Amino acid sequence: MKTLSPTIPVKLSFKAQMLQAREAAIVQAVNRLLAEKGFDAMTVDEVAAEVGIAKASLYKHFPSKEDLACAAMVRVMRRAQDFLQSLPVDAAPLDNIKAVARWTMEVQLAGEMPSLPSQNSSLRATLMKSRDYMDGLIEISDALGGWIEAAQAQGALNPGLPAIAVLYTLYARACDPVLEFLKTGGQHTDAQIVELVMTTCFEGLNSR
């Protein structure tokens, strides 16, 4: 019987480890600034200053503001993929959909969801060229789409709605301004805000 040789982890050089750590710090700073200020208001100078490096050094890692935003989106996309992988395999489709919506809103309320403009051709082009971003987006969309269709078949979601409309409604929770409005009002906790928006999203506004 042929046995497979164990994979020996490749130890990175100290320089490579430092570069990785710096890139991680850059992406984390970009993620926070995008969540706080948005893409248009964020500047490369701010990112460099927060990380404590020269702008020229930052450009060695990420050649443009669009590339910085793309790296932040890849980071949150991987977090989303990890969350989907953590969901119970035997859970009901609607339960999984609700869990993803809840997680998305919790990330936004924690100030960890990048805010990107919907109309920016150069940013869109950069995202479309990123294999990591597109692969993550397709994987997440396929998983959610499967759950949506299954939930509709079970009668747990309105079968008259196009699945793509439901999918986009779920994605909209990642940038829902209602969350910020309620948080700014200071009358509700983050947990209460999530429950309020979950109710309006899944049960609507009609009286029961």
Q: What is the dihedral of CA 89, 94, 98, 101, to 10 degrees?
A: 90
* Token reading at 55: 């702008």
Residue 135 lies in a domain: yes
Longest dimension (CA), the chain: 67
Nearest to 37 by CA among 51, 47, 49: 47
Residue 96 lies in a domain: yes
For residue 126, the enclosing domain spans 70-203
Total domains, the chain: 1
Residue 194 lies in a domain: yes
CATH number, domain with residue 84: 1.10.357
Q: What is the pLDDT of residues 102-115, one digit of tens each?
A: 999 999 999 999 98
Residue 184 lies in a domain: yes
Task: Tell me the C-alpha to C-alpha distance, in Å, between residue 24 and each of 42, 44, 72.
Answer: 18, 16, 10
Residue 54 lies in a domain: no
* Contact of 163 with 145, CB cutoff 8 Å: yes
Residue 169 lies in a domain: yes
Residue 143 lies in a domain: yes
Q: Structure pTM?
A: 0.85
* Contact of 176 with 107, CB cutoff 8 Å: no
- 121-129 helix and 65-86 helix, angle to the nearest 10 degrees: 50
Residue 27 lies in a domain: no
Mean pLDDT by 10 residues, the chain (208 residues): 50 74 91 91 93 91 93 94 95 97 95 87 93 95 97 96 95 91 95 96 84
**Residue 102: partners with Cβ closer than 8 Å, 6 or more residues away:** 194, 198
Task: Tell me the C-alpha to C-alpha distance, in Å, between residue 84 and each of 32, 139, 207.
Answer: 23, 10, 32
Q: What is the pLDDT of residues 129-172, one digit of tens each?
A: 999 999 999 999 999 999 999 999 999 999 999 999 999 999 99
